[in-house]
Amino acid sequence: MAKVTLTIDGIGVMAEPETTVLQAALAADVYIPHLCYHPDLRPAGVCRVCMVEVEGRGLVPSCLTPVAEGMTVSTESPQVDKVRRVAVELLLANHPEDCLTCGKNNRCELQRIAAYIGIDRKQLGRFRRSKEPIPIDTSNPFFNRDMNRCILCGICVRTCEELQGTCAINYVNRGYKAVTAPFGNEPIAESNCEACGECVVRCPTGALSCKGFQEPTREVRTVCPYCGVGCGIRLGVRGGKIVSSQGDPQSLANHGRLCVKGRFGHDFVNHPRRLTKPLVRKQGELVETDWDEALGLVAEKFTQHKGKQFAAIASAKCTSEENYVAQKFTRAVMGTNSIDHCARL
Amino acid sequence: MAGLVTSFGSGAMTNSIGEIAETKCMLAIGTNTTVAHPVIAVEMKKAVRNGAKLIVANPKEIDLCRAATSFVQQRPGSDVALLMGMARVIVDEGLEDKEFIAERCENFDALKESLEAFDPDTVEKLTGVPKEEVAEAARCFATHKPASIFFAMGITQHTHGTDNVLAVANLAMLTGNVGKTSSGVNPLRGQNNVQGACDMGSLPNVYPGYQKVIDPKIREKFQQAWGCDLSDSVGITHTEIIDAVHDGTIKSLYLIGENPVLSEANASHAEEALKRTDFLVVQDIFLTETAELADVVLPGATFAEKDGTFTNTERRVQRVRKVIEPVGDSKPDWWITCEIAKRMGAAGFDFESPEEIFTEITSLTPSYAGITYERLEGGGLQWPCPSADHPGTPTLHTERFATPSGKGKFMPLEYRPPAELPDDEYPLILTTDRSLFHFHTSTMTRKVAGLEQLDGRERLGINPDDAARLGIADDDTLRVTSRRGEVTVVANVTGACPPGLVSSTFHFAESRMNVLTNPALDPVAKIPETKVCAVRVEKMPGGESGG
C-alpha cells in the first residue's frame, strides 16, 4: 500500500498506512512524550501524555489517532502543554521522590518525561492527597512490585494478556486505591504468574524492578542454554560475573522474549559449587588434582579398553563442535560406534 | 525421530517457530508446551488470538488448555488409537486432501486398510474420549488450513513411540499439511542442542549429517578424512550402553554432561551399573549424583565460557559466544576431549578453536556445507544449507520428501497398549512431566536460588477422587511404589490429573522418580517408556502435612 504523507511540526513525514501519529513521529525520530504506549502492544490511550494538536480536529491522543493523508500535526502548543503538564503533574503529585535510590533510576520513562516537560515543584501540591503507603510485594524471588510507583499505564497488564497469554494481573480497586495486581490482590508469587519478567522489562517506572539489579559493563549476544527453542539472549557481565540476561530482539527464534529460566536462570555459571579442578579417585575418595595427572590417567585406561569395551555418552547441553569431537574420538580413536546422548530421555 | 525418517526421510521439525503465528489450526499432543517450551507456547497463544484453532490432546489438563479451542483427554499410551481414529473420521467423511495424497504420497491404500480397525466405538473404548469429541477434533484439524502438529516426549517416550510419530505423520499427510508454510509436523526438542548433537552424529548409527555408518561409501569418506579405519557395525544406544556396563561388557564409560542416576528410566539399575564400571569418566560442570560415582571427574566449562554453535528445534544453527573466562581450572569440553585423544597418540585433534572444528564439520556434512561462523552473525541459518549462497531452509519437503522415492510414506499401524498396565497391586499410572522452573535433572536450575524458591520439591499430582479414596490431602508425604522401586514425595491434589493417573517431574534428587519408571524400550527408537508405568500410592505413616 502507498505511504501516507503528513506534516509533523512542519516536517514532511512519510508513514506506513494504518499506523498512528505517535508511531509515525517516532519512526521519523520526532519525540512525542508517552507512557502507556509500547511498540509490542496494542495502544490503550490511558496516560494522555502523548496529546498532540491536529489541524481542524484539535487535541487528540497521538497513540490512538491513525495517520491520514495531508494531516498537519503539532506536538507543541500552549494547549498541548497545558493538558500534558496536568496529566504528568497528577502522576507525580504522589510519586515517591527518591529517584536516586529507586531500582529504575536513569532508566525511568517518568523521569524522562518530567525532564522534557519541566516540572514546577510548587504546582504539585494542589493535586497531592494523603495516601497510605502500599506495602511492597517482594514475594517473587526475581522482582519486586512497588505499587507506590505505579502510574497505571497498564503496560504490565497488556503484556501479560496480549504477549504472554498468561493473564496473571489486572487492575484492582478504583480511584486512588487502584493498582495492578493478581486476582484478589494476593502476592504475585501465589498467582499464576510464570515469572517470565516480560512486564518488568516493559514497566516504564520503578513499579516493577528486578531485585539487586546491576548495570552490566558489557553485553554479549549468545543463546540460552535451557530448552530447544534456542532463544537469543544478551548476557550482561560485570567483573567476570554474569549479572543480567535480556532477550535479543534480533533473534529470529524469540524476537526478544524469554521465559523465567532464560531471563533469571544463569546464576549457576558463577555458583560456588562449580567444579574448578579435575578430580581422581584415590583410596575410594575423589581428590583434586591437575589436568596432567587426570588426562594421563584417562588416556592410559581408555587405551586398555578400545573397541567393544568402550562407550561414550555425549551431551545435548554441549556445543555441536564438542559433540563432533566426542563422536570423532569415539569412532576414530576408540574404534566403536557406541556413542549416544540424552535425546531419548 | 526414527518415525519421521520413515515417513518423510528426515527426523526434524518440518517448519519454523516464526510460522506458528500464521497457522489456522494446531494440534498439540504429548507436549506440555507452556512449561517445556515457554516461548513457543507464547507463539501458539498468539496464533489463537489471530483466530487459529488449538486442539490440545493430553492425558493431563495442562495449562495450555486455557488457550485451547478443544481439549481431548486421551488415556496415557492411547495416542495411536486417537490419531488413527481422527484419520478414520477424515477418510470416512471425505475430508482428506486427495490431490496432495495422489501427488506427494505413497502407500495410502495400506493406511486405509489399517484404518478399518479404528472405528469410532473402538477408538472411544481405547482412548476414553467420547467418539463425538474425536470426530470433532478430526473435522477441525482437516478443515482449517494450514494446520500444524506439535509434539514432544509425551509422544516419543513410549514402547510404541515410533508408531505414535508415524500416526502423527499420517495425519499431517492425509490433510496435505506438509511442505507448506505454517503447517507441518513439529517435534519440539527438549534440550538446547539436542538437534545439534543428533546432527553431529552423537548417535550410534550415523556420522555427522545422518550419514549411515553401515554405508561403505560413507565410511570410506570418513576414513579418508580422519585417516583411520572405522568400525562397520552400528553401535549401541544409551539404554543399551547402561545394560552393557551392568553386565561388564563395557569397561570404560565416558559420560559428558550426563546424569543418568536421575534421568535414566529404572534409575537404580543405572546407578548400580555405573558403580560396576571398571573406569568411569564424568565430565561436567558440577559434582552431579552421577559424577560422585566416577573414577575421574573432568571440570567442563558452561555455555557462557566458550564459543561454538547450538542448533535449535527448528534446525537453526546459532552462535554461542564466550562471555567470561572458564571459572577456576575448568576447560571447554572440546578441549578436554581433544587432549585425551592427543595423549592417546591420535592425529586430527589439533584444533585451535571451535571455528576450526566447525570448518571440518561443514566439509563432511552436506546439510551444513554452506554455513560459516561469519554467515551465522546474521541470526543463524536453518539446515539444510548445502552451499555458500544457499539461504537456509525454513520449511522442509516443499517440493519432494527426503525419502528415497521422494514421496511421503503412509504407514499402516495397529494399536499396542503400554508395556505396563495398572493392576490390583499397582492400580495407578504414573506419567512424568516437567516444571517451568527447572530443567531435566536440574543440575543447573537448582543452583539458581530464585528458581529453587519458586519450585523446591517434587510433588505428585493426584486426582481429588483418588486422593479422597486413599485418605490423602495436599502436602501429605506419600510413598510411591512400582515394580522397580519406591520413592517418597509430597502430594499435590489436583484436577489436572484425571482419576487413575498420577504425575510428577524428575527434577529432584530427593525424590528420584525415575527409580519407578519402566525401562521397556520402543523397538526402533530405543526410547524407554517413562510416560507410563504402574504404581501404588500410599500415605506414609505420620505423613500428614504440618498445616
Measured between CA atoms, how close is A161 to chain B, in angstroms?
Answer: 10
Q: For chain B, say whether A293 makes contact (Cβ under 8 Å).
A: no
- Of A251, A271, A319, which is closest to B354 when you measure between CB atoms? A319
- Of B237, B303, B340, which is closest to A299 when you measure between CB atoms? B340
Question: What residue segments make up the domains of chain A, in order of their start?
Answer: 4-127, 137-213, 215-273, 279-344
Q: Quick check: helix, strand or coil at residue A130?
A: coil
For helices A109-117 and A78-93, angle between their N-to-C axes, nearest 10 degrees: 140
Cell 513521529 locates to: A25
The x, y and z cell numbers of residue A4, run together, are 501516507
| Same-domain check for residues B275 and B245 | yes
Measured between CA atoms, how close is A199 to chain B, in angstroms?
Answer: 14
Closest CA to B346 of A290, A180, A325: A325
pLDDT for B269 = 87
Residue A280 corresponds to which amino acid?
A: V
Domain assignment present for residue B512? The answer is yes
| Same-domain check for residues B478 and B525 | yes
Do the Cβ atoms of B334 and A325 come within 8 Å?
A: yes
What does the H/E/C string look like for B229-256?
Answer: CCCCCCCCCHHHHHHHHHCCCCCEEEEE
pLDDT for B524 = 81
| Same-domain check for residues B137 and B259 | no
Strands (E), B137-221: 147-151, 184-187, 206-207, 211-212
CA–CA separation, B37 and A227 (whole Å): 6
A285's CB contacts (< 8 A; 6+ apart) are none
Do the Cβ atoms of B320 and A251 come within 8 Å?
A: no
Backbone angles phi, psi at B284, to 5 degrees: -155, 175
> What is the sign, positive or negative, of the torsion defined by CA atoms of A260, A235, B200, A329?
negative
CA–CA separation, A287 and A274 (whole Å): 15
CA–CA separation, B3 and B173 (whole Å): 14
Strands across the sheet with B308-311, in order? Answer: B308-311, B316-320, B381-382
Q: Quick check: helix, strand or coil at residue B25?
A: strand
Domain assignment present for residue B511? The answer is yes
Measured between CA atoms, how close is B109 to chain A, in angstroms?
Answer: 32
- CA angle at B268 for the pair B263 and B270, rounded to the nearest 5°: 60
| Same-domain check for residues B531 and B442 | yes
Q: How deeply is B545 buried, as exposed, middle or buried, from its count of CB atoms within 10 A (0-12, 13-18, 19+)?
A: exposed
Closest CA to B508 of B429, B414, B440: B440
Q: Which CATH number fits domain A137-213: 1.20.1250.20, 1.10.3720.10, 3.40.50.2300, 3.30.70.20?
A: 3.30.70.20
Can you name the CATH fold of A4-127? Ubiquitin-like (UB roll) (3.10.20)
Q: Chain B residue with minimal CA distance to A239?
A: B324
Question: pTM here?
Answer: 0.93
B47 within 8 A of B138, measured Cβ to Cβ: no
CA–CA separation, A318 and B333 (whole Å): 7
Please state, in angstroms and as integers, the Cα–Cα distance from residue A171 to each residue in A65, A147, B504, following that order: 25, 12, 34
Domain assignment present for residue B210? The answer is yes
The x, y and z cell numbers of residue B410, run together, are 503412509
Cell 482449517 locates to: B144
CATH number, domain with residue B470 = 2.40.40.20
pLDDT for B1 = 58
CA–CA separation, B75 and B501 (whole Å): 9
Cis (ω within 30 of 0) for the bond into B146?
yes
Do the Cβ atoms of A268 and B448 come within 8 Å?
A: yes
Please state, in angstroms and as integers, the Cα–Cα distance from residue A157 to each residue in A41, B115, B132, following that order: 10, 48, 38
| Same-domain check for residues B319 and B270 | no
User: pLDDT under 70 in chain A at which residues?
Assistant: 343-345
| Same-domain check for residues B374 and B451 | no
Q: For chain A, say whether B311 makes contact (Cβ under 8 Å).
A: yes
B120 within 8 A of B135, measured Cβ to Cβ: yes
Please state, in angstroms and as integers, the Cα–Cα distance from residue A83 to each residue in A55, A60, A117, A194, B455, following that order: 17, 11, 11, 38, 48
Cell 512424568 locates to: B432
CA–chain centroid gap for A231, Å, is: 13
CA–CA separation, B202 and A315 (whole Å): 8
Tens-of-pLDDT digits for all 547 residues of chain B? 567 888 888 878 999 999 999 999 999 999 999 999 999 999 999 999 999 999 999 999 999 999 999 999 999 999 999 999 999 999 999 999 999 999 999 999 999 999 999 999 999 999 999 999 999 999 999 999 999 999 999 888 888 889 999 999 999 999 999 999 999 999 998 889 999 999 999 999 999 999 999 999 999 999 999 999 999 999 999 989 999 999 999 999 999 988 888 877 788 888 999 999 999 999 999 999 899 999 999 999 999 999 999 999 999 999 999 999 999 999 999 999 999 999 999 999 999 999 999 999 999 999 999 999 999 998 899 999 999 999 999 999 999 988 999 999 999 999 999 899 999 999 999 999 999 999 888 888 888 999 999 999 999 999 999 999 999 999 999 999 999 999 999 999 999 999 999 999 989 888 888 888 888 888 888 888 888 999 999 998 877 775 4
Note down the domain range covering B151. Answer: 2-187
Q: Which of B249, B284, B299 is the last residue of a domain?
A: B299
| Same-domain check for residues B176 and B222 | no
B189 within 8 A of A317, measured Cβ to Cβ: no
Cis (ω within 30 of 0) for the bond into B384?
yes
CA–CA separation, B388 and A87 (whole Å): 56
CA–CA separation, A189 and A182 (whole Å): 9
A315 within 8 A of B197, measured Cβ to Cβ: yes
Could you say which residues from 333 to 362 on chain B have a Cβ atom under 8 Å away from some Cβ of chain A? 333-334, 336-341, 343-344, 346, 348-349, 351, 354, 357-358, 360-361
Element (H, E) at B468: helix B464-469
B181's CB contacts (< 8 A; 6+ apart) are B15, B19, B22, B146, B394, B395
B192 within 8 A of A226, measured Cβ to Cβ: yes
> What is the sign, positive or negative, of the torsion defined by CA atoms of B493, B499, B505, B510?
positive
Q: For chain B, say whether A317 makes contact (Cβ under 8 Å).
A: yes
Q: For chain A, say whether B230 makes contact (Cβ under 8 Å).
A: yes
Domain assignment present for residue B266? The answer is yes
| Same-domain check for residues B9 and B122 | yes
Strands (E), B172-286: 184-187, 206-207, 211-212, 252-256, 279-284
CATH number, domain with residue B324 = 3.40.50.740
A-to-B residue pairs, Cβ atoms closer than 8 angstroms: 468
Measured between CA atoms, how close is B286 to chain A, in angstroms?
Answer: 5
The mean pLDDT value of chain B amounts to 93
CA–CA separation, B24 and B146 (whole Å): 6
Could you say which residues from 181 to 240 on chain A have a Cβ atom under 8 Å away from some Cβ of chain B? 189, 194-196, 220-232, 235, 237, 240
Element (H, E) at B539: strand B533-539
Do the Cβ atoms of A335 and B231 come within 8 Å?
A: yes
Measured between CA atoms, how close is A9 to chain B, in angstroms?
Answer: 36
CA–CA separation, A321 and B320 (whole Å): 11
* Beta-strand relationship, B206-207 and B211-212: antiparallel
B89 within 8 A of B135, measured Cβ to Cβ: yes
A112's CB contacts (< 8 A; 6+ apart) are A33
The x, y and z cell numbers of residue B249, run together, are 561388557
Q: Quick check: helix, strand or coil at residue B477?
A: strand
ipTM surpasses cut 0.95: no
pLDDT for B386 = 96
Do the Cβ atoms of A317 and B303 come within 8 Å?
A: yes
- CA angle at B196 for the pair B195 and B202, rounded to the nearest 5°: 100
| Same-domain check for residues B364 and B451 | no
pLDDT for B547 = 45
CA–CA separation, B275 and B291 (whole Å): 11
Task: Note the pLDDT tens digit of each residue in B448-488.
Answer: 999 999 999 999 999 999 999 999 999 999 999 999 999 99
CA–CA separation, A61 and B271 (whole Å): 66
Could you say which residues from 147 to 166 on chain A have a Cβ atom under 8 Å away from some Cβ of chain B? 162-165
| Same-domain check for residues B40 and B165 | yes
Cell 503447517 locates to: B183
Q: Which CATH number fits domain A215-273: 2.20.25.90, 2.60.40.1730, 3.30.460.80, 3.30.365.10?
A: 2.20.25.90
* Beta-strand relationship, A169-172 and B533-539: unpaired
Cβ neighbours of A243 (radius 10 Å): 18
Task: Note the pLDDT tens digit of each residue in A225-241.
Answer: 999 999 999 999 999 99
| Same-domain check for residues B241 and B314 | no
Do the Cβ atoms of A278 and B265 come within 8 Å?
A: no
Question: DSSP letter at B347?
Answer: S
Q: For chain A, say whether B380 makes contact (Cβ under 8 Å).
A: yes
| Same-domain check for residues B443 and B479 | yes
B492 within 8 A of B130, measured Cβ to Cβ: no
CATH number, domain with residue B279 = 3.40.228.10
Contacts of B260 in chain A (CB under 8 A): 313
Domain assignment present for residue B109? The answer is yes
* Residue of B448, B505, B521 to mutate when probing chain A, most A C-beta within 10 A: B448
A283's CB contacts (< 8 A; 6+ apart) are none
Contacts of A251 in chain B (CB under 8 A): 318, 379
- Our count of domains for chain B comes to 4
Closest CA to A274 of B304, B161, B111: B304
- Of A226, A237, A295, which is closest to B192 when you measure between CB atoms? A226
